[in-house]
Amino acid sequence: MSFLGIDLGTGSLKVAIVDQHGREQAVASVAYALDTPHAGWAEISVQTWWRALCEATARLPDGLRHDVQAIGFSGQMHGVVLIDAAGEAVRPAMLWPDTRALDLLEAWPAPQPNPVAPGMAGPLLRWIVLHEPQVARRTRWALQPKDWLRVALGGAVATDPSDACATALADPAGVWDAALLERLEIPREWFAPLAPSYAAGGVLSPQAAQALGLRAGIVLATGAADTPCAALGSGLVHDGDALLTTGTGGQIVVLAAQAPAAVKGLHRYRAASDHWYRMAAMQNVGIALERVRGWLGYEWADAYRDAFGETMGSSASADSNTANTANTAAGLTFLPYLTGERTPWLNPLARGGWLGLALDHTRGTMMRAAFEGVAFSLRAGLDAIRASGAPVTTLKLAGGGSVDARWRQLLADALNADLYAVDCPNAAPRGAAILGGLASGHWHAGDLAALAPGATRVASPQGDVALAERYGRFVDLYGRVESWFGATTPR
């Protein structure tokens, strides 16, 4: 007996099979590229997703595919797929990086229960109504990406609260806001009924079963957005459980038993279970470090060596001068906001750079300051969560950018939190597979804690007073230069 999880991501589709004990048995993925037919647009043909699903599933062992009892879904948040009454897409899917609706955000006056971005379903659908009326006339359903995929496999037209609450068209609990839809002139009948993420949402059709090499009639879970699926797959079960992901951007997710209070700069969304979660979303983590590495002409191994000093028995380089790089970088501050920032500043116009450069600074000190600046950016997000009433002292750690032991220690010191690496490299599809097991009745809510993957403590804060002082300088510097970036109106 096994369960299939499908994670429909922005740049790739990943599938994972877990056994009846929640252990990963096989995984496969297929990458694809977004289309940008105009500046600021981010689209993709749903047929690209379908081909990726068929190809990824074909890479899974035949025997494991035959044993699949249910399928669960995880999908990128915020975008939208428009289909007609026959279930055919009437235009390419519009995705969360899309900024074509930036000028329409005035329709969501501050304050809002969650930050509103142009790539959310609400602004995108308002743009469709205004600029593509022929598409609007053909539309029967406006679906989230993972919901389109479930319907394409033969499932019910439905969505779950974790996706609905992030559309800017529903209340924080995920219930569609009929008055807002009427004011925006977006048809209420486009929106699917709500069902729990773990509810059964139809069964696999014979046609889809043949295409995927699975058995027809197996249960399809409603599914959830990718962030709550990753939280579920990483073992976040109880109130206060927290997860840090560091990839291109960074997210800090903290589970809550009740609806958190609204706090500027933080998201509060529904989880894949009956919980909620607070989320701080930082745009500039791996993307900022990768750009700095390129600017400074580093290979990654040398960047770590020079930024963190001569540890682990490596030989000295001329550029690092074998000095304690952290000390020589003490007067240097790096703002990592190369693409604007969400939590806590809500400023898409924010920009980055070094301040405090001196003649004795080297590539190593500049790289060190960049690592610290990214860590401080994450700390600013975590401080917003702590200020909202979640006293986070421990974080589970995920993401490909958080493997180096020296970087983990800097994160622990900057965040003032213990870090535990989760033994789950594919958390989102694993969480989706668990939803499939819940929908089919194999597991129940009380089993989730026992399904949590193992986690190993990899770093604890060492009380670095000097680092804490540099964090204070970082926050002060951003406040001093924010007016340089131009006016912005947070929502």
For 172-184, the pLDDT digits (tens) are: 889 999 999 999 9
How much is the mean pLDDT over the chain? 91
Instruction: Say what percent of the chain tops pLDDT 90.
Output: 77
- 19 vs 26: CA distance, rounded Å: 10
Average pLDDT for 70-89: 95
The pLDDT score that the predictor gives to residue 265 is 85
Average pLDDT for 22-45: 93
For 294-327, the pLDDT digits (tens) are: 999 999 999 999 999 843 233 334 344 434 555 5
Q: Which residue has the higher pLDDT, 112 or 252?
A: 252
Q: Which residue has the higher pLDDT, 357 or 331?
A: 357
Q: Same CATH topology for 2-227 and 236-423+461-491?
A: yes
The pLDDT score that the predictor gives to residue 386 is 95
The answer, yes or no, to whether residue 30 has pLDDT greater than 90, is yes
Map out the domains of the chain as residue ranges.
Answer: 2-227, 236-423+461-491
For 145-182, the pLDDT digits (tens) are: 999 999 999 999 999 999 999 999 999 889 999 999 99
For 408-442, the pLDDT digits (tens) are: 999 999 999 999 999 888 999 999 999 999 999 99
Average pLDDT for 227-251: 91
The answer, yes or no, to whether residue 210 has pLDDT greater than 90, is yes
Average pLDDT for 337-360: 91
CATH class held by domain 2-227: alpha beta
The pTM assigned to this predicted structure is 0.87
The pLDDT score that the predictor gives to residue 318 is 38
Average pLDDT for 224-250: 92
The region of weakest confidence among 225-229, 282-286, 326-330, 353-357 is 326-330
- Tokens representing 6 are 């499908």
CATH superfamily of 236-423+461-491: ATPase, nucleotide binding domain (3.30.420.40)
For 87-106, the pLDDT digits (tens) are: 999 999 999 888 899 899 99
The region of weakest confidence among 162-171, 199-208, 243-252, 354-363 is 243-252
The pLDDT score that the predictor gives to residue 55 is 98
Instruction: Say what percent of the chain tops pLDDT 70.
Output: 94
